[in-house]
């Protein structure tokens, strides 16, 4: 078989990165109080909820500004601003043009919106690797951001959260983390979907587990390690898509990663599932801590279904760049707890 | 306001772009092509850094129709580092936490929506400055 890697002509890496998480938190026990009388376990401790004036565009803009601050480049050098999300504010009208204008990247820039459930952000990252790796551009920005929807009373209501992360891909010699390899593993597996015009998604209950999440992540992860000739112990950190606390811990164990390797990037317990931001907000938290030479393993998952896997090596440029923008845990720490009433208001569930 | 009116303000609202006077060096916001300090023509674009402090503020409980969804909210006069004082909403802050002199920074947020089918309008608001280093 020919290589399954997506290999660019020239070596590329992450020049700058940034995250954003809204400040509101609803504890899962508060949601359980509404629907189960507070009985039974919950899949996370709490989740991040967007403010009334926040949406995928505003989340993407702040993450993008943080990425630019760390990269130390002017936005006019970007040749692409791509936003992956399943909660674009408009059905028709790009989120990416709003983001590109707000960060000062217009007008000589490629802009486009991506959609693949929770892996739209990593999909945009792989496209950016190609855009820069082919020589078409020196810098391209890929963003994954969401304000995810959960039907009141559904299992997803405990976890569907808001947040996002932005990455500027550029030549490897300027990178704070070099992308050593990546690949994508996709099949037509309908575990979760939202029809046009529907307010809330539908899902296949337990079908979202084995044939969807676990199959795609383990397949992508094992293929990438085979291609790279690596084992889990070769990586300092690993981060997987985080729909709840249990799934990423279990998939890490299945693949042979230890709890210590996934701890730094495992944010779902504190902020919920940020969908297109899930694995990559975790990656930003790892980059906030990582040391030069550390190797990072990243695997996203998007329902429908597929996984993108990445092998990164951190360079010495991380040291001078990471404190040029707020760290991801600083956003997580500015926490304002809300009750279900305020949650219903913030998420537009009240009829006036 | 019609679509074209919002569109003309996009740089101002999304990037805090004003002007700088080539004669006396004054920073100008909103852009008006004439320097309010020296009266000379001034149309050189300048993008403000987006840092400043609360000069004065008031919390709004009875709102214009477009902003009912957001009440209560705090409107402030923000003195930018470069000099101009501009009017803007504060966000990510409770009204009773706001103080005169509080350091604030610009963020881009939804300002309002033109109903369920119209434009979503984005622009600058200010929030308390985030610390640069977390933990």
pLDDT tens figures, B41-56: 999 999 999 999 999 9
Domain boundaries of chain A, sorted by first residue: 12-176+335-346, 177-320
Residue A40, pLDDT score: 83
Backbone angles phi, psi at A187, to 5 degrees: -135, 170
Q: What is the pTM of this model?
A: 0.97
Q: What mean pLDDT, rounded, does chain B reach?
A: 94
- Contact predicate B51/B80, CB 8 Å: yes
Q: Which of A57, A61, A104 sits opposite B47 (nearest CB)?
A: A104
Q: How many Cβ atoms from other residues are within 10 Å of residue B87's Cβ? A: 11
Q: How far apart are CA B53 and CA B90, in angstroms?
A: 11
> Running along chain A, 352 residues long, what does each successive block of 10 average in pLDDT?
91 98 97 92 95 98 98 98 97 97 98 97 98 98 96 94 98 98 97 92 88 97 98 98 97 98 98 97 98 98 97 98 97 97 95 77
What's the topology of domain A12-176+335-346? Peroxisomal Thiolase; Chain A, domain 1 (3.40.47)
Q: Which of B69, B108, B125 sits opposite A102 (nearest CB)?
A: B108
How far is the alpha carbon of B110 from chain A, nearest alpha carbon, in Å? 5
B135: confidence class by pLDDT, cuts 50, 70, 90: very low
On whether any CB of chain A is under 8 Å from the CB of B2, the answer is: no
Burial of A108 (0-12, 13-18, 19+ CB in 10 A): exposed
The token pair at A251 is 């998939």
Domain boundaries of chain B, sorted by first residue: 3-128
Counting every residue written for chain B, the total comes to 135
Residue A270, pLDDT score: 98
How far is the alpha carbon of A212 from chain B, nearest alpha carbon, in Å? 35
pLDDT tens figures, B85-109: 999 999 999 999 999 999 999 999 9
Residues of A with CB under 8 A from a CB of B: 23, 51-55, 57-58, 61-62, 89-90, 98, 101-104, 288, 323-331, 333-334
Burial of B116 (0-12, 13-18, 19+ CB in 10 A): exposed
DSSP code string of chain B: --HHHHHHTHHHHHH-EEEE-TTT--EESS--SB-TTT--B--EEEE---EEEEEEEEEESS--GGGGGG-SEEEEEEEETTS-EEEEEB-SS-GGG--TT-EEEEEEEEEEESTTTSPEEEEEEEEEPPPSS--
Q: How many Cβ atoms from other residues are within 10 Å of residue A150's Cβ? A: 20
Residue B80, pLDDT score: 98
Annotated catalytic, A46?
no
- Residues with Cβ within 8 Å of residue A221, at least 6 apart in sequence: A251, A255, A297, A299, A307, A309
How far is the alpha carbon of A347 from chain B, nearest alpha carbon, in Å? 12
Q: How far apart are CA A13 and CA A173, in angstroms?
A: 8
CA angle A3, A183, A291 (to 5 degrees): 115
- Residues with Cβ within 8 Å of residue B4, at least 6 apart in sequence: none
- Contact predicate A26/A51, CB 8 Å: no
pLDDT tens figures, B69-90: 999 999 999 999 999 999 999 9
Annotated catalytic, A118?
yes
Annotated catalytic, A173?
no
Peptide bond into B116 cis (omega under 30): no
Q: Is the pLDDT of residue B30 over 80?
A: yes
Q: What is the ipTM of this complex?
A: 0.96
Residue A41, pLDDT score: 87
Residue B132, pLDDT score: 55
- Residues with Cβ within 8 Å of residue A100, at least 6 apart in sequence: A75, A78, A81, A106, A109, A111
Q: Is the pLDDT of residue B133 over 60?
A: no
Q: Which of A30, A54, A62, A86 is catalytic?
A: A86
DSSP A53: T
Strands B27-28 and B44-47, bridge-based pairing: unpaired
Q: How far apart are CA A234 and CA B92, in angstroms?
A: 42
Residue A207, pLDDT score: 87
What's the topology of domain A177-320? Peroxisomal Thiolase; Chain A, domain 1 (3.40.47)
């Amino acid at each position: 078989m020919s290589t399954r890697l997506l290999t660019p002509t020239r070596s590329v890496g992450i020049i700058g990165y940034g995250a954003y998480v809204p400040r509101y938190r609803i504890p899962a026990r508060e949601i359980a109080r509404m629907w189960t009388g507070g009985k039974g376990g919950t899949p996370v401790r709490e989740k991040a909820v967007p403010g009334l004036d926040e949406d995928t565009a505003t989340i993407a803009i702040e993450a993008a500004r943080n990425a630019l601050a760390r990269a130390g480049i002017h936005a006019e050098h970007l040749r692409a601003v791509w936003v992956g999300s399943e909660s674009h504010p408009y059905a028709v009208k790009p989120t990416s043009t709003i983001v590109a204008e707000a960060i000062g990247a217009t007008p000589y820039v490629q802009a486009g919106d991506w959609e693949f459930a929770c892996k739209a952000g990593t999909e945009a990252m792989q496209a950016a690797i190609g855009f820069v790796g082919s020589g078409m551009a020196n810098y391209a920005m890929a963003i994954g951001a969401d304000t995810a929807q959960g039907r009141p009373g559904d299992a997803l209501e405990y976890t569907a959260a808001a947040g996002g992360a932005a990455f500027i891909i550029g030549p490897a010699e300027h990178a704070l983390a070099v992308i050593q390899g990546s690949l994508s593993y996709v099949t037509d597996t309908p575990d979760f979907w939202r029809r046009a015009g529907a307010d809330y998604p539908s899902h296949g209950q337990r079908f979202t587990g084995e044939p969807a999440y676990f199959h795609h992540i383990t397949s992508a992860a094992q293929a990438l390690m085979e291609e790279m000739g690596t084992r889990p112990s070769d990586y300092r950190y690993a981060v997987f898509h985080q729909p709840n606390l249990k799934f990423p811990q279990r998939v890490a164990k299945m693949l042979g990663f230890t709890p210590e390797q996934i701890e730094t990037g495992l944010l779902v317990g504190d902020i919920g599932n940020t969908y297109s931001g899930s694995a990559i907000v975790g990656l930003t938290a790892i980059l906030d801590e990582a040391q030069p030479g550390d190797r990072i393993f990243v695997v996203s998952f998007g329902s429908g279904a597929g996984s993108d896997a990445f092998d990164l090596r951190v360079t010495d440029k991380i040291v001078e760049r990471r404190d040029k923008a707020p760290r991801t845990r600083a956003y997580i720490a500015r926490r304002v707890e809300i009750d279900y009433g305020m949650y219903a208001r913030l998420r537009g569930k009240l009829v006036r | 306001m019609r679509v074209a009116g919002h569109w003309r303000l996009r740089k101002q609202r999304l990037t805090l772009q004003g002007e700088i006077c080539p004669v006396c060096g004054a920073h100008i916001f909103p852009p008006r092509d004439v320097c309010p300090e020296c009266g000379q023509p001034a149309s050189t674009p300048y993008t403000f850094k987006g840092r400043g402090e609360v000069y004065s503020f008031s919390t709004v409980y009875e709102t214009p129709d477009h902003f009912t969804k957001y009440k209560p909210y705090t409107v402030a006069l923000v003195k930018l580092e470069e000099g101009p004082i501009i009017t803007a909403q504060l966000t990510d802050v409770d009204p009773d936490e706001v103080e005169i002199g509080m350091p604030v920074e610009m963020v881009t947020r939804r300002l309002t929506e033109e109903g369920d089918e119209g434009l979503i309008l984005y622009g600058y608001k200010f929030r308390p400055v985030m610390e640069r280093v977390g933990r």
